């Protein structure tokens, strides 16, 4: 039986050298500031801070401070132990056994047990919870998840079992070598059953909440701020340096920048669109831009309601080639984003981009080829609607791209903006020609991106369907050469061009230089304040 433990997955040397894994890694000789607090700006009020209900980045940032899952991530986005000290997988990656540390405790002193995870995961899938993230349990491939979500099986039939208090066994429907990566996701964090049973929906309110992370929630004023303080029961509390965490909800990005400049908080992400070059000049020690695991793309409707011309790969290719991505990235956004020729971002773990010919061409060469293709296709007077959700930056990009199409290819576009909720409806119903879209990885592995374009998945709003592509993705989990398969799949996308990748996101942010320990290379933007510390001003 092939056994793989965490030690072979991450760097053995690093784990052994560090001995017991410390939270904040403060080098010797560094003088810490007296005030060990950390504060940041959040764009929106998280709708919920219940791990099984939470959605969106603001909520995830709260969960990452208050709760700890089986595995978490280090500064490079690599898996490190959370509540689990390690795991073993069976030969075909359909069964994972996690060993839980015996000193993990809830903020009320109760031990964190395997049963807490079983309860939490069943709760996520249970239709009675009505979680908009229930799909994550299904995506993770846990046995019976799909049936439970559909109401065809009882929640306690979920393929997760507490062998004893410190051993958790997970059974999957099909092989998923990347399953441990998924346990870092907020949906799979444990929750404290007695607290939920006592307080019902109000269990996450300050005073009621019991959590197992490095911090406990003190206050939560909706649309204003929340604050948390160090959890003395946290298993690694001795190594947690930051005592207090607070977050200010500020919708307006320019206002947030002014308040950051006034020193009201430490971290501002993202900075206002287009302001990064100026900020980099003004605050060289504070301004950073790091790659993000997200792709900005245009989806081309090849479904029933889509225009005939978009069913022709030549037209799709021509549209993709005619977009000068450098103009968008370097002149419009200016925040360190990268031009995209693949749907999967380059920064994704285990992704090797295929050789894409047109990626190496000059823009003139691409334009030339685009003209040839559109002539070959032979459509006259092409006119498409271009749908995007109301936002200044989306409008600018749409305007520039429609100009490029019009000037280079004679393809006219009608810009059509809808506010978010309406836009989602329109996209889901497939009632568009071309639509702006974006996708962020749920875990750091190419399948989180490539899976979006499988036949029939709800996110595939352009109704792309390619048998060869689907077959490759089916093979990937059990394949010896997973990387090679992903490369092949991506090559199909660059030929078929069901979606036009435009750019890969970057996270441009301002961080008070006194704050150290921020994970600059974590492409999923997962950060844990327990790893931070504030140095004394020199």
Partner 1 sequence: MTSFILRRLAVAIPTLLALIVFSFLLMEFAPGSPFATERGIPPEVMANLEAKYGLDRSLVERMAIYVWNIVTQFDFGPSFAFSNRSVNDIIAQGFPVTLTYGVWSFIVAVAVGVSLGIIAAIRHNSSVDYAAVGFTVGAQVLPNFVMAPILVLIFTLWLGWLPGGGWRGGQIEYIILPVIALSTSYMASIARITRSSMLEVLNANFIRTARAKGLPMRRVILRHALKPALLPVVSYLGPAFVGMITGSVVIDVFFSTGGIGQFFVNSALSRDYSVILGITILFGALTIAFNLLVDIAYAWIDPKIRY
Position among 31, 35, 154, 201 found at the interface with partner 1 (CB under 8 A):
201
Count of C-beta atoms within a 10 Å radius of residue 173: 15
Q: Least distance from C-beta 130 to partner 1, angstroms? A: 4
Position among 375, 425, 468, 481 found at the interface with partner 1 (CB under 8 A):
425
Q: Least distance from C-beta 102 to partner 1, angstroms? A: 32
Among the candidate windows 173-181, 183-191, 372-380, 424-432, which touches partner 1 by CB under 8 A? 424-432
Position among 458, 480, 537, 538 found at the interface with partner 1 (CB under 8 A):
458
Q: Which of residues 48-77 bind partner 1 (CB under 8 A)?
A: 48, 50, 53, 55
State the greatest distance between any 2 C-alpha atoms of the chain, in Å, as a whole number: 72
Angstrom CA distances, 233 to 61, 134, 215, 237, stand at 21, 30, 9, 7
Torsions phi, psi of 36, nearest 5? -105, 75
DSSP state letter for 535: B
146 half-sphere exposure, CB direction, 13 A CA radius: 7
Position among 218, 264, 391, 470 found at the interface with partner 1 (CB under 8 A):
264
Position among 154, 252, 365, 375 found at the interface with partner 1 (CB under 8 A):
252
Q: Which of residues 459-478 bind partner 1 (CB under 8 A)?
A: 459
**Residue placing its CB nearer to partner 1 in the complex, 449 or 533:** 449
**Residue placing its CB nearer to partner 1 in the complex, 166 or 292:** 292
Is residue 8 within the footprint of partner 1 (CB under 8 A)?
Answer: no
Is residue 282 within the footprint of partner 1 (CB under 8 A)?
Answer: no
Is residue 19 within the footprint of partner 1 (CB under 8 A)?
Answer: no
Q: What is the DSSP string of 324-374?
A: -HHIIIIIII-SS-EE-SSSS-TTSTT------HHHHS-HHHHHHHHHHHH
Tokens describing residue 518: 């921020």
Is residue 142 within the footprint of partner 1 (CB under 8 A)?
Answer: no
Among the candidate windows 219-227, 324-332, 375-383, 464-472, which touches partner 1 by CB under 8 A? 219-227
Is residue 121 within the footprint of partner 1 (CB under 8 A)?
Answer: no
Among the candidate windows 127-135, 283-291, 404-412, 495-503, which touches partner 1 by CB under 8 A? 127-135
- Pairwise CA distance, residues 17 & 15, whole Å: 6
Position among 8, 11, 12, 205 found at the interface with partner 1 (CB under 8 A):
205
Residue 299, beta-bridge partner list? 435, 499
Binding residues for partner 1, total number by CB under 8 A: 54
Any idea what the Cα angle at residue 276 is, between residues 271 and 278, rounded to 5°? Answer: 125
Is residue 261 within the footprint of partner 1 (CB under 8 A)?
Answer: yes
Q: Least distance from C-beta 41 to partner 1, angstroms? A: 9
**Residue placing its CB nearer to partner 1 in the complex, 137 or 497:** 137
Q: Least distance from C-beta 482 to partner 1, angstroms? A: 24
**Residue placing its CB nearer to partner 1 in the complex, 169 or 199:** 199
Q: Least distance from C-beta 292 to partner 1, angstroms? A: 16
Count of C-beta atoms within a 10 Å radius of residue 138: 18
Is residue 197 within the footprint of partner 1 (CB under 8 A)?
Answer: no
User: Is-contact 132 115, C-beta < 8 A?
Assistant: no
User: Is-contact 173 141, C-beta < 8 A?
Assistant: yes
Is residue 127 within the footprint of partner 1 (CB under 8 A)?
Answer: yes
- DSSP H/E element including 321: helix 313-321
Q: Least distance from C-beta 344 to partner 1, angstroms? A: 18
Q: 322-359: string of b/e by CB count within 10 Å (b at 16+)?
A: bbbbebbbeebbbbbbbbbbbbbbebbbebebbeeeee
Position among 22, 26, 32, 47 found at the interface with partner 1 (CB under 8 A):
47
Q: Which of 230, 236, 229, 209 is nearest to 83 (CA)?
A: 236
Three-state secondary-structure class, residue 515: strand
Q: Least distance from C-beta 43 to partner 1, angstroms? A: 11
- DSSP H/E element including 167: strand 167-171
Count of C-beta atoms within a 10 Å radius of residue 456: 8
Sign of CA dihedral 343, 344, 347, 351: negative
Residues that bind partner 1 (CB under 8 A): 44-45, 47-48, 50, 53, 55, 127-128, 130-132, 134-135, 138, 149-151, 201-205, 221-225, 248-252, 254-255, 258-259, 261-262, 264, 419-422, 424-426, 428, 437-439, 457-459
């Amino acid at each position: 039986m092939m056994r793989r433990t965490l030690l072979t997955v991450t760097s053995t040397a690093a784990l052994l050298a560090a001995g017991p894994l410390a939270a904040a890694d403060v080098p010797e000789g560094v003088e810490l500031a007296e005030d060990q607090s950390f504060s940041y700006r959040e764009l929106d009020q998280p709708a919920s801070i219940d791990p099984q209900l939470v959605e969106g980045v603001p909520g995830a940032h709260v969960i990452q401070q208050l709760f700890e899952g089986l595995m978490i991530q280090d500064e490079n986005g690599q898996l490190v132990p959370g509540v689990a000290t390690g795991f073993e997988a069976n030969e075909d990656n359909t069964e994972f056994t996690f060993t839980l540390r015996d000193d993990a405790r809830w903020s009320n002193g109760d031990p964190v047990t395997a049963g807490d995870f079983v309860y939490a995961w069943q709760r996520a899938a249970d239709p009675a919870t009505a979680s908009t993230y229930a799909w994550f349990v299904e995506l993770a491939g846990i046995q019976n998840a799909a049936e439970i979500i559909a109401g065809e099986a009882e929640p306690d039939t979920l393929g997760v079992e507490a062998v004893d208090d410190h051993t958790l066994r997970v059974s999957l429907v099909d092989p998923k070598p990347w399953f441990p990566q998924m346990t870092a996701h907020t949906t799979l964090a444990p929750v404290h059953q007695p607290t939920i049973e006592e307080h019902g929906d109000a269990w996450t309110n300050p005073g009621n909440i019991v959590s197992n992370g490095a911090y406990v929630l003190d206050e939560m004023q909706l649309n204003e701020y929340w604050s948390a303080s160090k959890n003395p029961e946290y298993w690694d509390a001795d190594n947690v340096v930051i005592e207090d965490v607070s977050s200010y909800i500020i919708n307006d990005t320019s206002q947030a920048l002014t308040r950051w400049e006034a020193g009201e908080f430490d971290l501002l992400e993202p900075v206002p669109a287009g302001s990064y070059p100026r900020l980099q000049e003004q605050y060289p020690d504070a301004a950073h831009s790091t790659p993000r695991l997200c792709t900005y793309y245009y989806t081309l409707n090849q479904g029933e309601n889509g225009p005939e011309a978009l069913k022709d790969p030549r037209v799709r290719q021509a549209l993709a080639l005619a977009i000068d991505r450098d103009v968008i990235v370097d002149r419009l956004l200016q925040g360190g984003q990268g031009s995209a020729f693949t749907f999967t971002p380059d920064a994704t773990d285990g992704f090797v981009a295929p050789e894409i010919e047109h990626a190496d061409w000059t823009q003139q060469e691409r334009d030339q080829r685009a003209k040839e293709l559109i002539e070959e296709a032979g459509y006259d007077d092409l006119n498409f609607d271009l749908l995007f959700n109301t936002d200044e930056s989306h409008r600018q990009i749409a305007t520039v791209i429609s100009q490029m199409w019009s000037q280079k290819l004679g393809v006219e576009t009608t810009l059509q903006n809808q506010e978010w909720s309406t836009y989602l409806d329109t996209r889901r119903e497939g009632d568009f020609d071309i639509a702006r879209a974006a996708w962020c990885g749920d875990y750091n592995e190419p399948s989180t991106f490539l899976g979006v374009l499988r036949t029939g998945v709800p996110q595939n709003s352009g109704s792309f369907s390619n048998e060869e592509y689907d077959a490759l993705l089916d093979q990937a989990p059990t394949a010896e050469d997973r990387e090679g398969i992903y490369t092949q799949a991506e090559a199909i996308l660059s030929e078929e061009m069901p979606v036009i990748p435009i750019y890969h996101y970057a996270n441009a942010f301002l961080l008070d230089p006194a704050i150290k320990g921020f994970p600059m290379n974590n492409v999923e933007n997962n950060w844990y304040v327990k790893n931070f510390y504030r140095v004394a001003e020199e």
